[in-house]
Amino acid sequence: MTFIFESGYTFWNPLIWIIVFLVVAIMVYFFRRSGQKGYKKDTDQARIFLSGEEVPEAGERHIRVGNIYWGFFETLKEYYKQMLRIHTGIVNDYMLWFVAVTVVSAIILVVAGLVR
């Protein structure tokens, strides 16, 4: 009995994949084991380093996404205005768009002869 599945392009042998997985797992284990042993969990080693600055409290160090992607949003402001107009938040509208796009796609596929 053979365990090889041939698809014409490649083969799949579960025994080979199990061996590869075990070899990679052993390599990862030895790589992790070679790490530093001097780590102490509840000391200054475990504190956040912020370029030498005092770290603010958790609520104060949250950066809003609008600040991070300000340039991106500002550049695409006109696009977002148009998109917000057609996005009503009503599920029926989304289903109408889904059905309409599906019908148009089906018509194009039938006319192009890709689907019989």
Note the pTM of the prediction, 2 decimals.
0.35
Measured between alpha carbons, how far is 4 from 64 in angstroms, rounded to an integer? Answer: 52
Span 7-64, pLDDT tens digits: 666 667 788 889 999 999 999 999 999 887 787 888 888 887 878 788 888 777 777 7
CB 47, CB 55: distance < 8 Å? yes
- Overall number of domains in the chain: 1
**Local structure of 38: helix, strand or coil:** coil
Measured between alpha carbons, how far is 21 from 28 in angstroms, rounded to an integer? Answer: 10
Domain of residue 67, residue span:
5-112
Span 81-93, pLDDT tens digits: 998 888 888 999 9
